[in-house]
Chains A and B, each alone.
Chain A
Amino acid sequence: MEKKLIRRRRLKNALFQGALISIIVFSILILLLLLYQVFKVGLSHLSLSFITSMPSRFAARAGIASALAGSIWTISLTILFAIPLGVGTALYLEEYANKKSWFTKILEINIANLAGVPAIVYGMLGLAVFVRFLNFQRSILSGALTLALLILPVIIVASQEALKSVPSTLKEGSYALGVSKWQTITGVVLPYSLPGILTGSILAVSRAMGEAAPLIMIGAAGYIGFMPKSPLDSFTVLPIQIFNWTSRPQAEFQDIAATGIIVLLVLLLTMNAIAIVLRNKYQNRMD
Chain B
Amino acid sequence: MKIICNNINFYYGSNHALTDLNLNIEENKITALIGPSGCGKSTFIRTLNRMYEHIPKTKITGEIFLDGENILTDSYDLAELRKKVGLVFQKPNPFPKSIYENVIYGPKKHGLKNKDALDTLVEKSLRKAALWSEVKDKLNKSALELSGGQQQRLCIARCLAVEPEVLLMDEPTSALDPQGTLKIEELFHTLKEYYSIVVVTHSMQQAARVSDQTAFFLNGEIIETGTTDDIFTNPKDQRTNDYITGRFS
Contact = CB atoms under 8 A, between A and B. Distances in A.
B85 to A, nearest CB: 9
A180 B110 CA distance: 9
Contacts of B115: none
Interface residues of B, number: 28
Given A172-B54, A285-B96, A286-B96, A183 B109 contact: yes
Interface in A123-174: 167, 169-174
Interface string A105-124: 00000000000000000000
A188 interface: yes
A176 B86 contact: yes
A43 B86 CA distance: 65
Main SS of the interface on chain A? helix
Nearest to B54: A175
Given A183-B109, A187-B105, A285-B142, A173 B83 contact: no
Nearest to A283: B96
A2 interface: no
B79 A178 contact: yes
A177 interface: yes
B242 interface: no
Interface in B68-111: 78-83, 86-87, 89, 91, 93-97, 105-106, 109-110
A287 B79 contact: no
Contacts of B89: 169, 172-173, 176
A179 B158 CA distance: 13
Given A177-B86, A177-B162, A172 B93 contact: yes
Contacts of B187: none
Contact of A176 (B51, B94, B96): B51
Interface in A229-287: 285-287
Contact of B109 (A169, A177, A191): A177
A192 interface: yes
Nearest to A284: B142
Interface residues of A, number: 21
B82 A174 contact: no
A287 B144 contact: yes
Contacts, number: 71
B93 A169 contact: yes
Nearest to A168: B54
B51 A172 contact: yes
B159 interface: yes
A166 B216 CA distance: 35
B13 to A, nearest CB: 12
A110 to B, nearest CB: 24
B222 interface: no
Contacts of A187: 95, 105, 109
Interface of B: 49, 51, 54, 78-83, 86-87, 89, 91, 93-97, 105-106, 109-110, 142, 144, 155, 158-159, 162
16 contacts: A169-B91, A171-B54, A172-B51, A172-B89, A173-B93, A176-B86, A176-B89, A177-B106, A177-B109, A177-B158, A178-B79, A178-B110, A180-B109, A187-B95, A192-B96, A287-B142
Interface of A: 167, 169-180, 183, 187-188, 191-192, 285-287
